[in-house]
Amino acid sequence: MRLLLLLPLAAGACRSAGSRVEDFARSADGVPIGYDVRGRGGAALVFVHGWCGDRSYWRNQVGEFSSDHRVVTLDLGGHGASGANRKAWDFSALAGDVVAVVERLDLPGVILVGHSMGGPVSLLAASRMPGRTIAVVGVDTIHDAEFETPAGWLEEAARSLDADFRTSMRGFVGPMFEEGGDPSLPEWVCARAERTDRTAALALLRAFQAYDAKAALAGAEVPVRCINAAAKPPRRMATAVATNRKYADFDAILLERVGHFPHLERPREFNAALRAVILRLEEEAARRRP
């Protein structure tokens, strides 16, 4: 299967369907990274999925925003159509995947939109693209730069997934959704999670322990905005706006009646919030230009 995915890259193939273009970039370590591009105009919006996701998670955003922006969605290494021939799985490597796509397309100015793990990955990618990155927009992520994951929790979760990936993933994902929502969404998310390379999935889950959120926020050196679910402890973490502002130009919109996947659960409300954030970021970037 992986060999079949590499053939279009080796041939330099590019498939086009209307205004949509699909292709592969090659990350710094040689891993092929699948992406697609739609639309034109405005800042380029690069959508980065979370752990065990893929670019289809942005299915409710690409049409909406490609009407007046260039929209790029990609599969991080080990996910979706991208390769998994990587020796070291960590957030830094995934940030390199984002950089590879942006540089392949030679995008002069981007807003990185990252869900869950895609938020930290986008912060690290922004730090490698000074001058190219306008801002980072997190989606239910970057809640509290000073939060420390309880010792042993991630390792326990990784072991559970390693023993029975399917059952554990369903137990993991279910509570992430708000009650009363679309009952088909948890299964849709789990079905895609099961396609993730297992080595990558487990290594990246463990990589959260080594992630330095304070350094990543400060190192991005661009405005950081989040569209997060309103906190409902203990199921959901609060967004510590004042804490995060110690390290970056940070602000957040908190949405009610959503869980960890606001862009899937309440796309109309989410898209309205994202459009408002993007408009303000573009206006601020225009004022900063000489």
What per-residue confidence (pLDDT) applies to 52? 97
pLDDT band at 235; cut points 50, 70, 90: low
Using CA atoms of 210, 213, 216, 222 in order, give the dihedral in degrees to the nearest 10.
Answer: 160
Q: pTM of the predicted model, to two decimals?
A: 0.92
Please measure the distance between the N-terminal and C-terminal CA atoms of the chain and give it in whole angstroms. Answer: 50
The domains located in the chain, with CATH, are 2-288 (3.40.50.1820)
Q: What's phi and psi for 39, nearest 5 deg?
A: 70, -175
- 285 pLDDT more than 60: yes
In tens, the pLDDT along 111-167 reads 999 999 999 999 999 999 999 999 999 999 999 999 988 889 999 999 999 999 999
CA 188 to CA 174: how far, in whole Å? 11
